[in-house]
Structure 1
Amino acid sequence: MSKPFKSSAREIVLKVRAFCEREKANEAPLIRLDQVRARVAAMTGMSEKTVSRITKKGEVAASTSQELKSPGKHRQKRKTVDLDDFDLCALRNKIHEMYTVRKVVPTLNKLLIELRNDINFGGGRTTLWKILKRIEFKYKNCGSKRKILMERHDIVTWRRKYIDTMRQNRVEGRPIVFLDETYIHASNAVQKCWQKGDEDGVLTSDSPGTRWIIVNAGGEMGFVSNAQLIFKSQSKSGDYHDDINRTNFMKCLSEKLIPNLPPNSLVVMDNAPYHTVQVNKAPTMSSSKVQMQEWITNKELSYLPTMLKAELYQIIKKHKEAPIYEADQLLISHGHKVFRLPHYHCDLNVIEFMWSLLKRRVASNNPVYNIIMRLG
């Protein structure tokens, strides 16, 4: 099957044919045969300079065995806007504040104005809309049929469960231990400082330098003694979570945290992938049909051999158990209790405020951006 031509190529074919028809009617060349460039320009409707430029590129492509390509358009790359956990919390809290304190309905335009002033948000309406969807808000009809920004009901319930758990824990008297990870760069320094013409003050680096990953836990008692883990990042990714996996997290949990936890603790953590490794993970629609059938058989359930994957998945959904996490099992086996934070609620994890304080203190004592080297 021949390759389809674009409209521009089709137009050139018609121009060449029209030129040939005119020469046929003239019974002689309209332009002398030895004037090749002029003849090509007249046939195709291009200038002779353009014909020369294309000819030269064709010769280069032929000599290097490369394909002759069209010149690419120079498009300005769109700037991506990505908010960190604190900014996402600020966005969620801004929506709640507008509803509960200021008694106004948040809209994209109102939120854009507020966020540009509060956190120097650099995105537009579409970017903000995508971020709101990512943190599980949706725009839907309320009781009066007017569309408003609503948080998912399960997230609201989850947050209420956290508050109830903390209240119940006051009665039980368990020590509360917040677990989390963060990162810090060797070039972490203050952004502003006192200076004058002949005194440069703090010199910031163009390169962020080595990234260090810090894992720790703590509560009212301060950081848990001997539970800290610091190691150098080996990942080129912008997300520090890529440096931590199930293996090194579970090793840190069993060797550093659990031996030093106060007895009968309540451990609070987020839902990072390495925190939520399931021991009873059920197949999903992306699993193979054989895996689905094996899972159903192991549960002593029945199915028909002619069933489709979608039908098998309905059986799995109906009978799958609540998730059991490997980290939870380990902590519970040592007499501790675990609670997981709602998604995008890092402000409920007290240790996040300690990370913020830590980074400010490191920056204030890092005038030549090498203080982190002493951590190693």
Structure 2
Amino acid sequence: MNAETFEQWLQDVLLIKLQQPSVIVLDNASYHSRLEEKRPTSAWRKAVGPVYAVDQIIHAAGHDVIRLPPYYCIFNPIEMVWSQAKRKYDEVVLQNHNPLEAWALALAAITPQQWTNYVEHTERLIFKYWTKEKFVTVNEIIINLNLDSDDSDDDFSHFEDE
């Protein structure tokens, strides 16, 4: 998959099928993250975050985007769908030896109810993490840079007395 192919599929297949404004959840795959503009530099007067081509396409069609935090695939229900599909594929491909047919059968085996269950499970998981994180407090952290010393061992000198 590449950005151009994904963006074309997004415009020609997915977005035209959505009948009401929707929220589209994207992970951090490279093809979801092609920059529309260059990243801000120190020469810019105003700090501007990255503008992704996919986000612009989705917004222009009247929908919203939520980007998952990096490395948190547990917040993406499609990961569970892919897991189920891959298990089914492994089962089917050994029987008929046709990979394309095996993928078609594996994907067709996933029901709308299973999708709903995966989404609901993910929503509960996100809520659990949100509830846990919003009550976390951080105490003051003091870092002594010890800028006057050239001896790197000075940082650990307090352990010598123990």
The answer to whether 1:246 aligns with 2:3 is yes
Cα 1:347–1:262 shift into 2, 3 Å: farther
Match of 1:322 among 35, 42, 49: 49
CA deviation map 1:306-327 (0-9, x unaligned): xxxxxxx5323x5341222111
Distance in 2 between residues matched to 1:367 and 1:280, nearest whole Å = 46
Deviation at 1:365, TM superposition (A): 2.5
Q: Tell me which protein shows more strand as a share of its residues.
A: 1
Distance in 2 between residues matched to 1:264 and 1:320, nearest whole Å = 30
Match of 1:282 among 35, 39, 55: 39
Aligned partners of 2:33 and 2:54 also within 8 Å: yes
Aligned residues: 103
Distance in 1 between residues matched to 2:26 and 2:88, nearest whole Å = 24
Q: 1:327-346 maps to which residues of 2 (within 5 A)?
A: 327-346=54-73
Specify the alignment match of 2:15 in structure 1: 258
Aligned partners of 1:268 and 1:341 also within 8 Å: yes
Deviation at 1:248, TM superposition (A): 0.7
Runs of 5+ unmatched residues, structure 1: 1-243, 284-312
Cα 1:279–1:367 shift into 2, 3 Å: closer
Identity between Structure 1 and Structure 2 (%): 32
Query: Which amino acid in structure 2 is aligned with residue 261 of structure 1?
Result: L
Specify the alignment match of 1:211 in structure 2: none
Give the aligned CA root-mean-square deviation in angstroms.
2.1
Q: Tell me which protein shows more helix as a share of its residues.
A: 2
CA deviation map 1:234-286 (0-9, x unaligned): xxxxxxxxxx2221111111011111124111100111222112222136xxx
Q: 1:29-44 maps to which residues of 2 (within 5 A)?
A: none
Distance in 1 between residues matched to 2:31 and 2:100, nearest whole Å = 27
CA deviation map 1:178-223 (0-9, x unaligned): xxxxxxxxxxxxxxxxxxxxxxxxxxxxxxxxxxxxxxxxxxxxxx
Cα 1:264–1:369 shift into 2, 3 Å: same
Cα 1:342–1:259 shift into 2, 3 Å: same
Cα 1:370–1:278 shift into 2, 3 Å: same
Runs of 5+ unmatched residues, structure 2: 105-162
CA deviation map 1:316-357 (0-9, x unaligned): 3x5341222111111111111100000011111001101111
Specify the alignment match of 2:88 in structure 1: 361
The answer to whether 1:347 aligns with 2:104 is no
Distance in 2 between residues matched to 1:273 and 1:325, nearest whole Å = 11
Aligned partners of 2:39 and 2:49 also within 8 Å: no
Cα 1:366–1:282 shift into 2, 3 Å: closer
CA deviation map 1:101-135 (0-9, x unaligned): xxxxxxxxxxxxxxxxxxxxxxxxxxxxxxxxxxx
Normalising by structure 2, we get a TM-score of: 0.56
Aligned partners of 1:362 and 1:371 also within 8 Å: no
Distance in 1 between residues matched to 2:100 and 2:39, nearest whole Å = 44
SS of the residue corresponding to residue 94 of structure 2 reads coil
Distance in 2 between residues matched to 1:277 and 1:367, nearest whole Å = 37
SS of the residue corresponding to residue 267 of structure 1 reads strand
Distance in 1 between residues matched to 2:93 and 2:53, nearest whole Å = 39
Normalising by structure 1, we get a TM-score of: 0.26
Distance in 1 between residues matched to 2:5 and 2:54, nearest whole Å = 12
